[in-house]
């Protein structure tokens, strides 16, 4: 066998392993999809279910080293592609026209989440990487925000996966609690929607909590949530500036600009001003894009989840979980007071 033949076989083998790694992450995402349909798991959702399956797989079978390149591709490249597609959900026109006051409240929510989380992390001597990620997920838009800020904080894949899993679990718990206490609250449907939109973690959590309140509640909740999603890019740019200032004496370690956020902005503008007003874009097409986004994000999170080792999880994540609980409860109470006072 000559050298050229050996090289060709090696390249072919590498491509097969690369593709198999990507397919492996989608296979677990597929399994998470069906697990989320089982009784008791419906509220958990596909994303959280798939992450938990990936984490369990890692503990039982170990990391599949032969598939590393493809898994890394999912956790890096496909993740950024998913965030770009996520931008279509953001209708810039709604925010600029009807949501300026909600945008200001959303900015306050982001500031409160980061400031309080970092203060408590210092007080409790908690893991700052995981706490920072949870602060972004709580203040902005859950898993997408965690994925966006992780490169800025230079978080390990393990920390990113832990953060996403925790935020998905807490968001689900809080959204269920919101639906249970809604009939007892002195809020109109619109007020309840705003409160859910500015205080819950993910878009899916907001929709889950607001839907029982009716169409007015759901519409206001999604508008309020989109106001926080709108802040994803400016918050990331601010964090890049802050982190680079901290590392100003480490020029080789400056935070690279996350160009995928430019794609997020572009897709937001395309979704707002082209798809529908200029280019025909049906509800079915929008749902298809949403489905693709969900699957890509889930496969990417599986790639991250496979990096999680539970040996250090208790020591690393226990305090950040406590901080998340304190911040989330405080945020719910404060935003309730604000909504009641303003609306």
Give the span between the Cα atoms of 135 and 149, in whole angstroms.
10
Nearest to 144 by CA among 266, 257, 297, 324: 297
Average pLDDT over residues 113-126: 95
* pLDDT exceeds cutoff 80 at 72: yes
* pLDDT exceeds cutoff 50 at 179: yes
Domain residue spans in the chain? 84-342
Stronger pLDDT, 169 or 125, i.e. the higher one: 125
* pLDDT exceeds cutoff 90 at 75: no
The H helix count followed by the E strand count for the chain is 16, 0
Both tokens of 3, joined, read 């050298």
* pLDDT exceeds cutoff 70 at 10: no
pTM above 0.85, yes or no: no
Minimum mean pLDDT among 54-68, 221-235, 300-314: which range?
A: 300-314
* pLDDT exceeds cutoff 80 at 111: yes
Q: pLDDT-based confidence at 326, cuts 50/70/90? A: very high
Average pLDDT over residues 188-205: 90
Give the span between the Cα atoms of 138 and 113, in whole angstroms.
7
Q: b vs e for 131-162, b when ≥16 Cβ sit within 10 Å of the residue's Cβ?
A: bbbbbbbbbbbbbbbbbbbbbbbebebbbbbb
* pLDDT exceeds cutoff 80 at 338: yes
Top-confidence range, 135-139, 156-160, 262-266, 281-285: 135-139
pLDDT of residue 149: 92
pLDDT of residue 195: 94
Average pLDDT over residues 185-195: 92
Stronger pLDDT, 215 or 41, i.e. the higher one: 215
Minimum mean pLDDT among 14-28, 94-108, 174-188: which range?
A: 94-108
pLDDT of residue 8: 43
* pLDDT exceeds cutoff 60 at 129: yes
What is the average pLDDT score of the chain? 84
Minimum mean pLDDT among 86-95, 129-138, 202-211: which range?
A: 86-95
Q: pLDDT-based confidence at 99, cuts 50/70/90? A: low
> Kindly report the CA angle at 203 between 198 and 208, in degrees rounded to 5?
95
Q: pLDDT-based confidence at 28, cuts 50/70/90? A: very high
* pLDDT exceeds cutoff 60 at 120: yes
pLDDT of residue 112: 96
Give the span between the Cα atoms of 211 and 43, in whole angstroms.
14
Average pLDDT over residues 118-143: 93
Stronger pLDDT, 79 or 193, i.e. the higher one: 193
Going by C-beta distance under 8 Å and a sequence separation of 6 or more, which residues neighbour residue 157?
A: 75, 303, 304, 307
Both tokens of 203, joined, read 């878009």
Q: pLDDT-based confidence at 175, cuts 50/70/90? A: confident
Q: pLDDT-based confidence at 280, cuts 50/70/90? A: confident
């Amino acid at each position: 066998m000559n050298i050229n033949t050996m090289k060709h076989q090696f390249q072919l083998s590498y491509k097969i392993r690369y593709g198999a790694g990507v397919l492996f992450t989608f296979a677990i995402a597929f399994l998470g999809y069906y697990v989320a349909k089982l009784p008791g798991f419906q509220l958990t959702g596909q994303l959280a279910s798939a992450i938990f399956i990936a984490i369990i797989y890692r503990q039982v079978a170990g990391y599949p080293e032969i598939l590393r390149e493809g898994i890394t591709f999912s956790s890096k490249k496909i993740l950024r592609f998913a965030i770009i597609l996520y931008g279509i959900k953001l209708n810039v026109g709604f925010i600029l026209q009807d949501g300026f006051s909600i945008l200001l409240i959303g900015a306050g929510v982001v500031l409160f989440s980061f400031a309080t989380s970092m203060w408590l992390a210092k007080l409790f001597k908690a893991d700052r990487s995981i706490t920072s990620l949870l602060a972004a997920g709580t203040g902005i838009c859950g898993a997408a925000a965690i994925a966006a800020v992780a490169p800025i904080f230079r978080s390990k894949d393990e920390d990113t996966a832990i953060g996403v899993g925790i935020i998905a679990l807490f968001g689900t718990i809080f959204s269920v609690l919101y639906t249970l206490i809604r009939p007892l609250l002195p809020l109109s449907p619109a007020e309840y929607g705003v409160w859910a939109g500015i205080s819950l973690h993910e878009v899916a959590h907001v929709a889950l909590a607001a839907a029982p309140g009716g169409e007015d509640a759901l519409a206001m909740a999604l508008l309020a949530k989109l106001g926080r999603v709108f802040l994803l890019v400016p918050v990331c740019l601010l964090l890049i500036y802050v982190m680079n200032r901290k590392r100003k004496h480490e020029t080789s370690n400056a935070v690279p600009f996350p160009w995928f956020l430019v794609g997020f902005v572009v897709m937001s503008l395309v979704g707002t001003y082209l798809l529908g007003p200029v280019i025909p874009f049906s509800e079915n097409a929008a749902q298809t894009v949403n489905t693709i986004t969900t699957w890509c994000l889930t496969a990417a999170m599986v790639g991250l989840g496979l990096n999680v080792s539970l040996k250090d999880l208790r020591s690393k994540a226990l305090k950040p979980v406590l901080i998340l609980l304190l911040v989330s409860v405080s945020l719910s109470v404060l935003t309730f007071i604000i909504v009641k006072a303003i609306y």
